[in-house]
């Protein structure tokens, strides 16, 4: 007798009936995903979330009445539900809107297809993304910085030191969490940041653009051979591992195979930090599924580096941080803003 399959209930939201039909067809081959409703605008979506109580919403951004960004905001107010937004990679303004939707509570962004090959790619990636976010926690991210509670020690010891760089890794829920962390970092922080964020191919530049607009730092995609300086935030581009060498030189490697299915991989970044400059780096592992980054974070800690993780209460998916804590790879576990405050305690008052 077959084991009972837990069915994930999905609401599709797009003003095009033909697009909804194609998306619906993607799920017909699955046993564990059922489309329970279709909405043609954001206002309908909000009401159907209340009425149908889906496990996941898959939603276009450009729609009449209420667009995807506005609908995300309303859904998170009336009945917080995991949301996957579809966005064009060719339209940089729409990508900005996609990341604003993620800041308001959407969990993932996937490319809206523009040709046959990209439709085929979405057919493969969308069901798996729905499965991932269906078990995720919906987290409301505040619009403005707020004071946080005193930093708990969580049994760890944070040692003040002359930090030069902070390496951050994240997956599902990462864009909003990273924005929240960096938004609490002082503008004159004497460190540079390097980031590996698991994200759909083509959205790395949009993520960098969004952070650059939101933050007082110089945020860009990393380039091979550049030196990571104070006040700079560099993101790994798609298809290349990002590594930190001595003296802060960044290296991109498009040739080494993916690690645990990821290129860029958080582990590759953190392992390079552990090997080349452990005493000058703090590693931070944030929300996400799986265990990418755990090996590197543990290596960094064993080499004498400072290691931190996002706590369970604030994580959309408490996967990567949980494994890190279970394996003793992280000194402390804190929410994003408290992570920023903890990091601020690690660099000396004199700066550099």
pLDDT in tens, 83-138: 999 998 878 888 999 999 999 999 999 999 888 888 999 999 999 999 999 989 87
Q: Could you give the residue numbers annotated as active site?
A: 171, 198, 292
Whether residue 161 is predicted with pLDDT greater than 70 in this model: the reply is no
pLDDT given for residue 118 in this prediction: 87
Assess whether pLDDT exceeds 70 at residue 351: no
pLDDT of 338 strictly over 60: yes
Where in the chain are all domains bearing CATH 3.40.50.2300?
A: 8-134
- Whole-number pLDDT of residue 117: 85
Give the pLDDT of residue 3. 53
Q: What is the rounded CA–CA span in Å between residue 166 and residue 132?
A: 28
- Specify the pairing of strand 218-221 against strand 232-235: parallel
Mean pLDDT across 175-194: 97
Residues 56-72, mean pLDDT to the nearest whole number: 94
Cβ contacts of residue 114 below 8 Å, gap of 6+? 88, 90
For 283-292, what is each residue's pLDDT tens digit?
A: 999 999 999 9
pTM of the model: 0.91
What percentage of the chain exceeds 90 in pLDDT? 82
Contact 35, 27 (CB under 8 A): yes
Residue 157 has pLDDT above 60, yes or no: no
Question: Which CATH code is given to the segment(s) 165-344?
Answer: 3.40.50.180
The mean pLDDT of 230-236, rounded to a whole number, is 98
Residue 160 clears pLDDT 80, i.e. is over it? no
Question: CA-CA distance, 13 to 15, in Å (whole number)?
Answer: 7
Q: Report pLDDT for 140.
A: 57
Is residue 334 over pLDDT 90? yes
**pLDDT class of 143 with cuts at 50, 70, 90:** very low
Measured CA to CA in angstroms, residue 260 lies from 17, 48, 271, 301 at distances of 37, 37, 14, 21
pLDDT of 38 reads 98
pLDDT of residue 91: 82
pLDDT value of residue 116: 84
More confident residue, 168 or 6: 168
Residue 180 reports pLDDT greater than 50: yes
CATH 3.40.50.180 intervals, the chain: 165-344
Q: Which fold has domain 8-134?
A: Rossmann fold (3.40.50)
Q: Which residue has the higher pLDDT, 351 or 318?
A: 318
Band (67; pLDDT cuts 50, 70, 90): very high
Mean of pLDDT over the chain = 91
Residue 120 neighbours by CB under 8 Å, 6+ apart? none
Regarding predicted confidence, which is higher, 334 or 148?
334
- Cβ-contact 265, 292 below 8 angstroms: yes
């Amino acid at each position: 007798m077959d084991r009972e399959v837990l069915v994930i209930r999905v609401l599709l939201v797009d003003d095009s009936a033909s697009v909804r039909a194609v998306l619906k067809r993607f799920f017909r081959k699955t046993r564990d995903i059922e489309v329970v409703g279709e909405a043609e605008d954001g206002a309908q979506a909000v009401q159907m979330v209340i009425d149908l109580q889906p496990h996941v919403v898959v939603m276009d951004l450009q729609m009449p009445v209420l667009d995807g960004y506005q609908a995300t905001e309303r859904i998170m107010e009336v009945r917080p539900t995991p949301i996957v937004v579809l966005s064009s990679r060719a339209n940089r303004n729409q990508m900005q809107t996609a990341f604003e939707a993620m800041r308001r509570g959407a969990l993932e962004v996937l490319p809206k297809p523009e040709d046959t090959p990209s439709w085929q790619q979405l057919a493969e990636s969308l069901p798996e993304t729905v499965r991932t976010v269906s078990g995720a926690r919906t987290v409301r991210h505040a619009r403005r910085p707020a004071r946080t509670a005193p930093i708990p020690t969580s049994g760890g010891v944070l040692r003040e030191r002359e930090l030069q760089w902070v390496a951050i890794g994240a997956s599902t829920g990462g864009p909003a969490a990273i924005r929240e962390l960096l938004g609490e970092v002082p503008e004159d922080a004497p460190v540079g940041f390097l980031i590996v964020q698991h994200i759909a191919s083509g959205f790395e530049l949009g993520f960098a653009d969004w952070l650059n607009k939101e933050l007082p730092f110089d945020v860009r995609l990393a380039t091979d051979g550049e030196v990571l300086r104070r006040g700079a935030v560099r993101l790994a581009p798609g298809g290349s591992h990002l590594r930190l060498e001595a003296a802060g030189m960044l290296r991109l490697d498009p040739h080494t195979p993916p690690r645990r299915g990821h290129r860029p991989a958080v582990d590759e970044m953190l392992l390079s930090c552990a090997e080349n400059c452990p005493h000058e780096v703090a590693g931070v592992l944030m929300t996400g599924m799986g265990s990418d980054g755990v090996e590197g974070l543990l290596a960094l800690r064993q080499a004498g580096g400072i290691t931190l993780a996002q706590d369970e209460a604030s994580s959309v998916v408490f996967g990567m941080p949980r494994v890190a804590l279970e394996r003793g790879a992280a000194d402390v576990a804190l929410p994003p803003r408290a992570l920023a405050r903890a990091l601020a305690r690690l660099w000396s008052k004199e700066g550099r």
